[in-house]
Every structure is written in C-alpha cells, then in structure tokens.
Amino acid sequence: MSSGQQMHLRCPAKVNLSLSVGPPRPSDGYHPIASWMVAISLHDDLMLEPGEGQSRFHVQWAPDAPRPSPIEWPIEKDLIYKAHRTVQEHLGRELPVCATLRKRTPTGAGLGGGSSDGAAMLKGLNELFALALPTDVLASLGAKLGSDVPFFLGAPSAVVRGLGEVVEPAPLDQPLYLTLILPDLHCNTAAVYRMFDLLRPDAVLREITAATRAQGVLVNDLAEAAFTVEPRLRELRDRCAWAAGKSVHVTGSGAAMFILQPDAATAVRTATRLRHQCEVTAIPATSL
C-alpha cells in the first residue's frame, strides 16, 4: 500500500504446516525440502520512501511486538539491507531510500520474519521506482537472500520445494486458526540440520501432494532434531500440549510452535491459558 511516495508494506510470518527434508546434496551440502507453508497474520511493517544521497535503514520493535529481543545485529546483516543491495547490483545503479522496519515476528523462531522483510523490500523497490521487474526475476534475486524469500513473493499458501526456489500455490479451502507459541528459546538452524543428519542418516524426501494436504497430517522432519539441540523446547511442547489438550507442532527448525484451532475464539482462549499455565508468550493468529 502506498500514499504518494510513501509505502507501507506488511511482512507476514509463516508456519510450516508440513516439512519433509532430504539428505544433504553431495555438491554443496544443502538439504532439499518439500514444505507446505502458509503466511499468517503476525507481521512486521516496512515503510519506504525515496531518499537522497545515501540510503538510510532503521530497524526497531513495534510497540505491540509479542516477544521483542535486543537488536544487536549490524544493519548490513539485515535482509532489508541485503535485498536493497541485491536489487541495486542487479540494476547497476543506486536506489536511494529511507526504510523503517517495525518488527513483531521474533527472530530465529522458524517463522521466516527476516525472509518476509527481504521479500517486502524487493516488492517495495519494484513499485516505488517503477522498475517493472517480473516476478520470476524478483524470485531469482530473493533466492540469493534466503530459501524462504521466494515463498513470500507469491501466494500466501504454497508448497515449496528444492532449496526454496520452486513455489507452487496451494490455496486453502478455508481459513486456518492457530495459537502461536513463541518461546524465549533459540534453535540454531545450522545446528538443527547437523543433528538431523545424525538422527536421520537414511532420510528420504517425501512429496507433499494435494492428497496428503487434504489428509491434514502435520509432519516436521526437523522437530526431533530441534528437541535434541534444545531439550527445553521438548519440555515446553509437552507442557503446552497438556495444558491445551491438543497437539503442538514445531514450525521450521524452531523454536516457535503452533496449535491448529477450530475457530478464532478457541485460538484466543488457548493463548490466554498457555500464558497463564505455561508462562510462555502465546498469541492467536490466522492464515492469510
């Protein structure tokens, strides 16, 4: 959305409803995946406007961020900066902007917050400067930034394959309601994948089809590795499952988790119960 030369872009988080992971590729050690990803209502906000001279970037937590943490990384490490630099390098010219990012999605939680921010920057620059870059070009640039970025450039529900570069829309028949659990824990993605290789030396990549999605079976091949790397996450999962009386699922490599709910009111009630009984940050969310 834009107002004059100012733009406001929402950067939604995502959950992996299903995630299958294959063995590392001999060529580069990266793991191919097949994942059903869905964008959700938890989101960051990116404000963009044309600048003069050197571009300026500011990152802060929104006042209503559910679980803020210190912003200790240099701006050069942030994906909005990297996305901006990538587009400039692709075009071979400067695109001076003033960018303000207000974050709500916790960092390092498996919710794709940084990737969504980077995707929003790609889309925002394309519109702000009337670059007319096709979606496939934006996706190619996004793939250089991170495996989740191409997903955020497309449909809000999609099956993602390969190293994230293959994105096939998978429309939802009805909205999804979730209770998001946002622990004050961190699962290092590289460590989780290393543990996955130890636990699953015979890993086989499984397809995610329309039939398997319709069955509603939620599987995350990285969950056990995440629990092994961070045992407190398993303990919290078990406590939350007992308090909610429902299955609790890890998204991505963790540490965020979610519970599927039948309606919005139940998602709200469960979030309140988990905050009180399990002393964990929990919020309701819906699919986009």
Is residue 255 very low, low, confident or very high in pLDDT (cuts 50, 70, 90)? very high
Provide the CB-side half-sphere exposure for 231 (13 A, CA).
0
Rounded to an integer, what distance in angstroms lies between the CA atom of residue 142 and that of residue 168?
Answer: 16
- 222, 196 in Cβ contact below 8 A? yes
Rounded to an integer, what distance in angstroms lies between the CA atom of residue 112 and that of residue 85?
Answer: 20
Mean pLDDT over 261-283 rounds to: 98
Q: Which runs of consecutive H residues, i.e. helices, occur in the chain? A: 79-91, 113-128, 135-145, 149-152, 189-199, 210-215, 223-229, 231-244, 264-277
State whether residue 149 is helix, strand or coil.
helix
What domains sit in the chain, N to C, each tagged with a CATH number? 2-169 (3.30.230.10), 177-286 (3.30.70.890)
Rounded to an integer, what distance in angstroms lies between the CA atom of residue 80 and that of residue 251?
Answer: 23
Rounded to an integer, what distance in angstroms lies between the CA atom of residue 124 and that of residue 143?
Answer: 17
Cα 11 from chain centre:
9
Query: Among residues of the chain, what percentage have pLDDT more than 70?
Result: 99
Query: Among residues of the chain, what percentage have pLDDT more than 90?
Result: 94
- pLDDT tens by residue, 157-210: 999 999 999 999 999 999 999 999 999 999 999 999 999 999 999 999 999 988
State whether residue 92 is helix, strand or coil.
coil
- What letter does residue 287 receive in the DSSP assignment? B
- pLDDT tens by residue, 234-250: 999 999 999 999 999 99
Query: Residue 263: is it exposed, middle or buried by C-beta count within 10 angstroms (0-12/13-18/19+)?
Result: exposed
pLDDT for position 5:
81
Tokens, residue 216 = 């509603």
Rounded to an integer, what distance in angstroms lies between the CA atom of residue 166 and that of residue 148?
Answer: 10
Rounded to an integer, what distance in angstroms lies between the CA atom of residue 180 and that of residue 67?
Answer: 12
Residues annotated catalytic, as ranges = 14, 148
Mean pLDDT over 13-34 rounds to: 96
- pLDDT tens by residue, 35-56: 999 999 999 999 999 999 999 9
Rounded to an integer, what distance in angstroms lies between the CA atom of residue 136 and that of residue 36?
Answer: 20
The mean-pLDDT minimum among 25-34, 82-91, 108-117, 209-218 falls in: 209-218
Identify the CA nearest to 98 among candidates 65, 128, 133, 135. 128
pLDDT for position 59:
98
- 176, 260 in Cβ contact below 8 A? yes
pLDDT of 100 over the 90 cut: yes
- What letter does residue 188 receive in the DSSP assignment? -
pLDDT for position 2:
47
pLDDT of 4 over the 90 cut: no
Is residue 102 very low, low, confident or very high in pLDDT (cuts 50, 70, 90)? very high
Rounded to an integer, what distance in angstroms lies between the CA atom of residue 246 and that of residue 64?
Answer: 27
Is-above-0.85 flag for pTM? yes
pLDDT of 1 over the 70 cut: no
On average, the pLDDT of the chain sits at: 95
